[in-house]
Amino acid sequence: MSKFTLGKGNSGWWDGAIGYEVYIRSFADSNGDGIGDLLGLVSKLDYLAWLGVDLVWVSPFYPSPMADFGYDVSNYCDVDPIFGTLEDFDCLVAEVHRLGMRLLIDLVPNHTSSQHEWFVDSRSSIDSDKRGFYHWRDPSQNGGPPNNWVSHFGGSAWTFDELTEQYYLHLFLPEQPDLNWNNPNVVKEFDNILKFWLSRDVDGFRIDVAQGLVKNMLMADNPLRFPLHKDMSPREIFASYDHRYDLDQSGNIEIYQRWRKVADENDALLLGEVYLRDNDPNKVSRYVASKDSLHRAFYFAPMHVPWSPEPMWDTFRDALDAAPEDLSWALSSHDDPRAPTRFGGGKEGKQRALAYSVLLLFLPGLPFIYQGDELGLESILVKPEDQADPVALRNEDGSDGRDGARSPIPWHVGENFGFSTGKPWLPMGDRSEEETVDSQKFDEGSTLFKYKELFQLRAERLDPNSQLKWITSRDSSVIAFTRADIVCAINVGEQSEKLKLGKEMSDIKFSVGDAVVSDGILELGLASAAIIMSGV
């Protein structure tokens, strides 16, 4: 089925693969209700195969009240009717495999929906058999929350329940109570959940909030790193704390070591969303370094680094020193502004994002792009009355809202750009004909064709086991390295730069912006990148 083979340690069929994130609500709608669904995705799989995608990661499609659009799961072993049925899911798996790709599904083990039967039971009585599935605590001595922990989405991480007169913990919405992973019954339930989906031939799991499952049961206050002030956004408040007791606890590794045995028996990938606020690569690397825990861990610092040499050097050199092979890179995601927007917007932002992709795709590790990255899409502006993201709706300042990156994909010119025959659940923005898939698919100078060309070059010419050797230093505006007979170089400085390569390195296989090789000297213009090989 796949061109990749099973290896040892953290290696496997994913070595050399390119991943593609599908945010299911915004990809393709098959039934006209304005919400993307499984059969909509099935109808577009030929496009992903044409592009050169190897691994399709799908956001949650489980039954959910949609307080956080699927990341609040009320049943881990079924499909929400708005997305389809289990039979539709089986069809998706079969079609993905028929086209030679693999399927990764989103697992949400840190929290459930408050409407999950476990929590409904847990909330019913202090003596409930399921009470220990969640974190329940008495009020503090002053009658308030048990400690100072805060939610990612704003406010306290504790909600008081009138019926049983205790607080329950939620690091996200109150509708997303955190599971108690110190409870062996929770551990056993998730053993069964993994096996349920593996029996339906999924190829692995992207693990949501992988750093957050286990909590320190003493539940002491988290130390404050920076002073708080009233104008801070939820993200800024969360980042102001040292999350010493609620995140990145040692027990997380034990859970993944348990899951690893199940995954390896099924030739499946475990990819963790290890989102640590200080972006310390040494902390992230612990989740993969033992070779018996996660196979790959997302490292998110590259999604927040500015277009500047020094921070980019620090980001990539430090990450690859900590984990030379086992990280996963993402250009964009459904939780953050799109790459062209991050890098300044307009023509400049799009060129920078494409040049940056050259770097991410040729580094060791497992790269992912987010739906629409291949079209050069920017985040859209969403009016306050059209916002849907709970992060925006529950806070006075909606600037942290994620809707702008979640706008549906423009497939072709026409009603709702071909996404749906009904009103899309989010606005499409002011997309142009030039941004549609159909327009770019027949334009060999388009961003889409550049990504297809880049994917093909990587698949055909890059040995995933080749070692990286840096050929420029941290004081250079050009980030450049070799892997076997390939040179990858990107100029993130403020002027054109020259790089001596040697006369044998004369064949530019791929470039973004201005790139010329003459007499063994590579000249790169602003926001330019190139892949060079020997011309001999």
Domains and CATH numbers, the chain: 19-112+184-439 (3.20.20.80), 117-169 (3.90.400.10), 467-534 (2.60.40.1180)
pLDDT digit string (tens) for 329-383?
A: 999 999 999 999 999 999 999 999 999 999 999 999 999 999 999 999 999 999 9
* pLDDT score, position 536: 55
- Burial of 164 by CB count in 10 Å (0-12 exposed, 13-18 middle, 19+ buried)? middle
Is 433 among the residues known to form the active site?
no
The active-site residue out of 165, 221, 265, 494 is: 265
Q: Using the predicted structure, report yes or no on whether residue 2 has a pLDDT greater than 50.
A: no
Report DSSP state, residue 351. Answer: H
pLDDT at 410 over 50: yes
- Can you give the pLDDT at residue 398? 64
**pLDDT at position 8:** 62
What is the per-residue pLDDT across 291-319, written as a single tens digit (0 to 9) for each?
Answer: 999 999 999 999 999 999 999 999 999 99
What is residue 396's predicted lDDT score, i.e. its pLDDT? Answer: 73
H/E element holding 270? strand 269-272
Q: By the 8 A CB rule, do 300 and 275 touch?
A: yes
208 catalytic residue (yes or no): yes
The lowest-confidence range among 121-125, 193-197, 277-281 is 277-281
For 245-283, give one letter per residue: b (16+ CB within 10 A) or e.
Answer: bbbbbeebbebbeebbeebeebebbbbbbbbbbebebeb
Q: Token pair of 140, please?
A: 């503090």
pLDDT band of 3, cuts 50, 70, 90? very low
Instruction: Please tell me the predicted confidence (pLDDT) of residue 431.
Output: 96
- Other beta carbons within 10 Å of 206: 26
In this predicted structure, what is the pLDDT of residue 1? 39
Query: Left (φ > 0), alpha (ψ -120 to 50) or beta: where does 165 sit?
Result: left
Please write the tens of the pLDDT for every residue from 6-40: 446 899 999 999 999 999 999 999 999 999 999 99
- Closest C-alpha to 63, from 111, 21, 27, 112: 112
Over residues 130-146, the pLDDT tens digits come to 999 999 999 999 999 99
Cβ distance 65 to 115 under 8 Å? yes
User: Whole-model pTM?
Assistant: 0.96
Average pLDDT, the chain: 95
Whether the predicted pLDDT of 278 surpasses 80: no
DSSP state, residue 473: -
Pairing of strands 478-483, 269-272: unpaired
Percent of the chain with pLDDT over 70: 98
Catalytic one among 72, 208, 435, 497?
Answer: 208
Find how far residue 431's CA is from the centre of its chain.
Answer: 24
Residue type, 494: E
- Asked whether residue 205 carries a pLDDT value surpassing 90, the answer given is yes
Judge whether 520 and 505 are in contact, CB under 8 Å.
yes
β strands within 293-359, DSSP E? 296-298, 327-330
In the predicted structure, residue 463 carries a pLDDT above the cut 60: yes
**Both structure tokens of 218:** 């003493």
Secondary structure (3-state) at 263: helix
Residue 167 contacts residue 149 (beta carbons within 8 Å):
no
Reading the block at residue 258, the tokens are 């348990």
In this predicted structure, what is the pLDDT of residue 26? 98
Residue 507 has pLDDT above 70, yes or no: yes
* Neighbour count for residue 395 (Cβ, 10 Å): 16
